[in-house]
Amino acid sequence: MLKKITTDQVVLGMYIQAFEGSWLNHPFWKSRFVLTEPSDLAELRASGVAGVWIDISKGLDLPDAMAAPAAEPAAAPAVMPAAVEAPRKPVAPTKALEEIEQAARVLRQSRSVVTQVFADARLGKAVAMDACVEVVADIGDSVMRNSSALISLARLKNRDEYTYMHSVSVCALMVALARELGLDEATTREAGIAGLLHDVGKMLVPEHILNKPGRLSDDEFAQMRTHPERGHEALVRSGNVPEGALDVCLHHHERFDGSGYPQGLGGEKISLLARMGSVCDVYDAITSDRPYKQAWRAADSLGRMAQWQGHFDTRIFHAFVRTVGIYPMGTLVKLQSGNLAVVVDQSARDLTRPLVRVFFSTRSNQRIPPFELDLARETEKDRIVSREDPTQWGFGRLDELWRPATAVV
């Protein structure tokens, strides 16, 4: 049974079903969870949310003296966002390889939602913001458990679904980067929504241009460059999109030195979220296969991006490198021992010493039984001496060494 109460009546042990008013006003990832943490209760009371709906069949009710005079009907009010019945608090961190299959499920579900949102945008319909919020929440939970798993798996998108999965990938990167920068929950959620919607304007560009396999003509490129403004206009018309997401949609192609588009903004005139969006958008674009371009290797991409003077905010870029790692998951490396290995997870202690899966000996020039090696372990003497190009060694898809066959996106 649902009951509406005021925020000052909320106590620990209540099952929060929904918050009164817009989802933008409350500070939590999800709308349905048992309130167990005193810090969450304090955050709720400080948020300015006037009231909440509680489900007394799943949590505590009000004492009789405090009971509200009337109960809400069982049907959810229109302002209640759809939500997964799960606590906001994420589970304990996991190894990337343990998170892979769950990350694959999140990516499949996210792709379905983004495909529908973008299709609605093409038809001029409003954004299904409740669905977007849930996508960001699920991605956020996976990133909290282990950011490498979902981010690395998302890079394996195929060319046909690039536009949709690129938005999912940028969402994950934005959430992970926001956490690295220490942004609060509300801003982190807004960063994720911004990543999810930043390229919605591409749905308003003619399909023959969007999916052209070769180089665009000058006229076609000019039309493609209008997608930030087109997307921004569509999201404004939708009327339910947070300001930060509107800003990132319009300004994710601005550059820190002022040479970007559409407005040629520079430096601090570009919002923090838009500066984050610029880095995340470019990284995912250049590390993904697209209709007209082969992907660059993730580790090499960071090196190239570092050389693009004036393109990014240096502080944001350095935080981004910490987010994805100097040796992103899936990178082929050569060890001091002469063995080759694939990076399968990051080390929180030392970005230069990730967890790797050793599988090949350059001394005997043959494969060896794979085994994991934690290079950050104090007793471990082996070290990375170089990044390697898989094609130079004649290797095919190295993702088979870290992605289970069942983890299909």
| Paired tokens of 137 | 């929440």
The arrangement of strands across the sheet holding 15-19 comes to: 2-6, 51-55, 15-19, 33-34
| Model confidence band, residue 364 (pLDDT cutoffs 50, 70, 90) | very high
Q: What is the pTM of this model?
A: 0.77
Count of other CB atoms within 10 angstroms of residue 221: 11
Spatial distance between the Cα atoms of 68 and 319, rounded to a whole number of angstroms: 48
In this structure, the chain runs to a length of: 409
316, pLDDT greater than 90: yes
Q: What is the pLDDT of residues 43-94, one digit of tens each?
A: 888 887 888 888 888 889 887 645 444 444 333 333 333 333 333 343 455 6
What is the pLDDT averaged over residues 243-247? 96
CATH level 3 topology of 96-324: Hypothetical protein af1432 (1.10.3210)
Q: Higher pLDDT residue, 157 or 363?
A: 363
| Model confidence band, residue 275 (pLDDT cutoffs 50, 70, 90) | very high
Picking from 304, 310, 344, the residue whose alpha carbon sits closest to that of residue 325 is 344
Helix, strand, coil tally for the chain in percent (to 5) = 45, 10, 40
Ordered by start, the domain boundaries in the chain are 2-66, 96-324, 332-401
Residue 386, H or E segment? strand 384-387
Spatial distance between the Cα atoms of 368 and 340, rounded to a whole number of angstroms: 10
Picking from 332, 350, 330, the residue whose alpha carbon sits closest to that of residue 341 is 332
**Ranges 88-102, 103-117, 130-144, 285-299: which has the least confidence:** 88-102
